[in-house]
Amino acid sequence: MEKGIRSVLFDMDGVILDSMPRHADAWIRVFRQYGVDLAPLDIYRREGMSGRDSVIDIFRERNVAYPGDDEYGRILEKKISIFERQPVGLFPLVKEILHFLRERRIALALVTGSLRRSVERALPRDVMDCFDAVVTADDVSRGKPDPEPYATALRLAGGGVHESLAVENAPMGIRSAVGAGIQCIALATSLPEEHLREASLVLQDHRELMEYLQDRL
């Protein structure tokens, strides 16, 4: 039986922020300096892993020795400095969707593997203010795909697991939400549907998400 929705939990990158092509571009440029050629899909399918885990995973997959944690620090600095050169924008309809939900007194949470300082840098104040709870990498001991981030956000935002909805765009995030018992909708903003099958529903874009929410609320 489908219950009413009392809270909606949003991932940030690829859901609120149109940032994944820029993340991919920055990683591709940095890895090229280490002799590893990547395509955007190599980044998109690892979205949600910690930076260090994904770097180790990429070197291992390409049979290149991981250069160690000191060098990882430099890799991450280079990536951040390329990524932060330009601001990233919101997806179309994001503000309309958030306002639509707030008008219906739905609790809203942001659930991201990014650091809090990156979130505060990336999101405009009026968008931050829409969220009743913001769960970042700084707020959990285990990140996505562990259920902890979504379970924490649900506890802070309120509402039972069967009255909540998560919106994700990547396999690790979907696994985290589903592991916390929350119904998950995936947006195919970075990955095609074949990567998003653990979600209960895959929508193509924010227009389809708005229509879905208007139907349910």
Residues near Mg ion (CB under 5 A): 11, 13-14, 169-170
Distances (CA, A) of 204 to 28, 42, 190, 192, 209: 25, 20, 10, 9, 8
Nearer to Mg ion, 71 or 138 (CB): 138
CA atoms of 93 and 87, how far apart (whole Å): 18
Q: Classify burial at 158, counting beta carbons within 10 Å of its beta carbon; exposed 0-12, middle 13-18, buried 19 or more.
A: middle
Q: Write out the catalytic residue numbers.
A: 11
Q: What span, in angstroms and rounded, lies between the C-alpha atoms of 45 and 186?
A: 13
Q: In whole angstroms, how close is the CB of 64 to Mg ion at the nearest point?
A: 26
Residue 14 or 159: which CB sits closer to Mg ion?
Answer: 14
Q: Which is nearer to Mg ion, 130 or 177 (CB)?
A: 177
C-beta of 28: minimal distance to Mg ion in Å?
18
Minimum Å gap between C-beta 115 and Mg ion is 15
Alpha-carbon Rg of the chain, whole angstroms?
A: 17
